[in-house]
Amino acid sequence: MGPGILVKSLLQGSFSLMVFGWAQIIMDIQPLVVLITGEGHLHGFSHTYVGASLLAIFAALSGKYLSEFGLYILDISTESAPVKISWWVAFLSAFIGTYSHVVLDSIMHIDVQPFYPFSYLNPMLGFVGVITLHKFCLYSGLVGAVIYFSIRVVLKQPGK
């Protein structure tokens, strides 16, 4: 979620962190089923760009409504109106979510084949160490949170 928080801080209302998070969850359903059943390829089709594209479409179509409902339940609104997520924001957020998931998992998991069915190669494997990758995710989230809340404070100051 760290990179998603950073993207949210930069794109603000043009990005839905909730749809992004929903896309992350959907991406890991297939590995969860493999872990539970012991059957299949842990990071299989869902962790390819073709699979991620299909899952992004599903995440956008379902995540728009789930996120709007979640924001309503949390009573998050703007000027007494419920938050509405536009379709382009839902799709952008879902695709960033699924594609970033493939990139990050490609760096750290030996069984990810991101370009399948066109290639079995994973040129990103080991691009950086796992600890460095985890630090990137953590620090990008922290930097993103500082940027996001700093912008919110500046925008709320009248006359600035």
Question: Residue 76: its pLDDT value, please?
Answer: 74
How many CB atoms lie under 10 A from the CB of residue 14? 13
Dihedral Cα 31, 58, 124, 3, nearest 10 deg: -100
Q: How confident is the model at residue 158 (pLDDT cuts 50, 70, 90)?
A: low
β-pairing, 81-82 with 77-78?
antiparallel
The Cα–Cα gap between 4 and 24 comes to 10
Question: Residue 153: its pLDDT value, please?
Answer: 87
Question: Residue 78: its pLDDT value, please?
Answer: 63
Q: Mind listing the pLDDT tens digit for each residue in 22-77?
A: 999 999 999 999 999 999 999 999 999 999 999 999 999 999 999 999 988 887 76
Q: Mind listing the pLDDT tens digit for each residue in 78-121?
A: 666 778 999 999 999 999 999 999 999 999 999 999 999 999 99
Q: Mind listing the pLDDT tens digit for each residue in 137-154?
A: 999 999 999 999 999 888
Q: Which pair of tokens denotes residue 106? A: 């490609």
Query: Would you say 94 and 60 are in contact if contact means Cβ atoms under 8 Å apart?
Result: yes
Question: Residue 154: its pLDDT value, please?
Answer: 87
Could you give the residue ranges of the DSSP H alpha helices within the chain? 2-11, 17-27, 29-37, 49-73, 87-108, 130-156
Query: Would you say 144 and 6 are in contact if contact means Cβ atoms under 8 Å apart?
Result: yes
Residue 67's closest CA among 21, 1, 8?
A: 21
The Cα–Cα gap between 135 and 4 comes to 14
The Cα–Cα gap between 109 and 124 comes to 10
Q: Which pair of tokens denotes residue 78? A: 């703007």
Query: Would you say 118 and 111 are in contact if contact means Cβ atoms under 8 Å apart?
Result: no
Record the pTM. Answer: 0.91
